[in-house]
Amino acid sequence: MTTVRALALIALCGLLGACGGNPLTLARQTEHLLTFRGGTCSATAVGPHTLLSASHCFANDTLVSIDGKPTRVLWIAQDGHDHTLVGQTIAFAHYVHHYATGVQGEPVFVLGNPANDRDVYRKGYVSGPSKEGGQPVTLYELPIFFGDSGAAIFDGDGRIVGVVAGLHVMTAEGLTLTFGVSRPLAFTASQWGLIR
């Protein structure tokens, strides 16, 4: 393989976030801070103009900016599991398009925006399945805080295994156990097809 072809392949792999690239680098390139009139959340670019975030971030609020840049929402698709795809006017050079199911014990990480601090890296693992309100969720031993909602939870290969929905808190006999939680992605094929 010629040097020029090899460099072109490396550049393409970096752009697509594939070919064994560094998952943390991919997360840094694709994770974004969303500012609403009433607060902040996190999101992941999943297309050139599309973000994946948590639906509760958009409840009764208006997206004002992404990473401090003004934007306008063009369309929204929700899956009923606290996930929202958002088409908007800012173009992203990097985006994630690989998804996986988290496996119990698997290492994961998040690069969210807790309390408006940008790109805060935390690592942990998939704790296992559970239920909230009779609905399936996945629990993570992963530090989560306000502002992380909507951030992707990545596996070691840079695939999205979940989206931060909030905290799952267990209490008994004066003890408290807290997990990060995500719900299964449930977009229809036509909703996924909206990604641009």
> How sure is the predictor about 9, in pLDDT bands with cuts at 50, 70 and 90?
very low
97 CB-contact burial (10 Å; exposed 0-12 / middle 13-18 / buried 19+): middle
State residue 11's pLDDT score: 42
pTM of the model: 0.86
Question: What is the residue-averaged pLDDT of the chain?
Answer: 89
Residues 6+ apart with CB under 8 A from 12: 19
- What residue ranges define each of the domains in the chain, with the CATH number in brackets? 22-95+187-192 (2.40.10.10), 107-182 (2.40.10.10)
Q: Please say if the pLDDT value at position 34 is more than 90.
A: yes
> How sure is the predictor about 19, in pLDDT bands with cuts at 50, 70 and 90?
very low
